[in-house]
Chains A and B, each alone.
Chain A
Amino acid sequence: MTWQGRLLHIHIAPAASYEMEELAEAQLIAGRGIVGDRYFLGTGTYSPKPDVREVTLIEVEVLEAMAKGQPKIPGFKAELAPEDHRRNLTTRGVPLGHLVGKRFRVGDTILRAARMNFPCRYIEELLGMPGLYEGLLNRSGLNCTIEFGGIIRPGDPILPMDE
């Protein structure tokens, strides 16, 4: 697969429901998460099941399409700012949907894509945007584990890895 993407934004939230904060630099710890983020701190989810949300990613292309009202969901158009979508990394030019089960690089770090994220009604209520759940179905990003940690910054290249 030949593509090359870029990291646009890094966001973390210290606990569930907290507003996301943008970082100019983040530290990824293998097997754990982004330092300071709710999934790193273990304050992110009430659900006791083991989870793979050490890092979550979303495509800026999805946010741009939604802001234009694509696809058409009657009465729904959402301008989601990067801090609103509650994913950690906003990417451009990365085919997130093709990466499930594969490894890829973000800057010097290596992530393994575990599963497509499933949207949750919670975000719709949290942001007061009815319809957002439907709007994000099948494109609410990618949940990853960190195989190789390190520092990442907005602007870092995102590259596929040969398996």
Chain B
Amino acid sequence: MASPRIIMKLKVVATRKEPGDVLVVELQHPRKPLLPAFEPGSHVDVHLSDGRVRQYSLCGDPADLSRYTIAVKREPEGRGGSTWLHAAVCVGAELPVSAPRNHFPLKQGNWPVLLLAGGIGITPLLAMAGVLNRQGKPFELHYFTRGRAVAPFLAVIEQVVDRSKLRLHFDDDPETRQDIEALLSTRPSDAQVYYCGPPGFMAAIARASEHWPEGSVHFEAFQPALLDDAPPEPFTIILRNGTEIFVPADTSALSAIRAAGVLLMASCENGVCGTCECGFLEGQPIHRDAVLSKDARSHRFMPCVSRATGVLRLDL
């Protein structure tokens, strides 16, 4: 289980709009000059007024702990969190925000780094690019959007990232378009790739990087992976102490476990934050999360979205 994090009530000290219907929110602690430290790739949980929790990457400079900067793209078709934030957040407002957590750390080393961002997926990669740029490490940032006019943070990126390391790809500009398959077809020796973006973009890169060795491909998703269409089937969970928990087809493993009286923390309930992670000892899970690595899938399980066939023995 992921560790708990302290929740701070932070003050919104500035907001601004970025292209692509993105709201940038700057947050400060009302009483402390410095916020908890974070690394590029870290995210915070923002607690909405109705109890829902959403994850946002910190896109500011990790060297500046006087404030956190998050960017929220309005998704009218989404689950409502971004629409609420766009409507409710104004300077002076208070937002409950957790201390940062990093599921998307930048590995230390001198290898070439490829950062691939799709649209609002730029947020964690922007912080990474800033740090790599400052450290003088070899990297390239590829930024894919529908067009220059809807690309959030373009002005910031052009200011923070050395021109020679930046590649912009706009769907509406044939000159700049880039075939992802071709980009990832060969792997410069030792190269590491980091990517983040909408589900279609995530899937395209996952496919194009399949031949890259384990451990060289890193990603973070903020929306659940594109699910297979198979209708969910009921299954049974067995806990370490022998308790059997039946999980009906229309109930998540997380709710079934909780209903059985076991305390399990969760936050996104969407398979993207990693809070509810637990181990499994035996059985055939159907992984539906967007956090676990290929390796981890052999022994870890995300009960908020994942399911199983038959019986799954959990390490709980």
Interface residues of A (CB under 8 A from B): 15, 17-19, 21, 46-48, 122, 125-127
Contacts and interface: CB of A to CB of B under 8 A. Distances in A.
A46 B6 CA distance: 16
Contacts of B261: 48
B296 to A, nearest CB: 20
Nearest to A84: B6
Interface centre among A18, A19, A47, A48, by most B CB within 10 Å?
A19
Nearest to B261: A48
Contacts of B7: 15, 17-19
B108 interface: no
A17 B6 contact: yes
B5 A126 contact: yes
B96 A126 contact: no
A126 B6 contact: yes
B263 interface: yes
B4 A17 contact: yes
Interface in B249-278: 261, 263
B6 to A, nearest CB: 5
Contacts of A46: 263
B184 interface: no
A18 B4 CA distance: 10
18 contacts: A15-B7, A17-B4, A17-B5, A17-B7, A17-B98, A18-B6, A18-B8, A18-B96, A19-B8, A19-B9, A21-B9, A46-B263, A47-B263, A122-B4, A125-B3, A125-B4, A126-B4, A126-B5
Nearest to A18: B7
Interface in B1-25: 3-9
Nearest to A20: B6
Interface string B21-56: 000000000000000000000000000000000000
A126 B98 CA distance: 10
Contacts of A17: 4-7, 98
Nearest to A127: B6
Contacts of A126: 3-6
A133 B165 CA distance: 47
B243 to A, nearest CB: 16
Contacts of B98: 17
A19 B4 contact: no
Contacts of B4: 17, 122, 125-126
A48 B259 CA distance: 12
Contacts of A48: 261
Given A17-B98, A126-B6, 5 more contacts: A15-B7, A17-B4, A19-B6, A47-B263, A48-B261
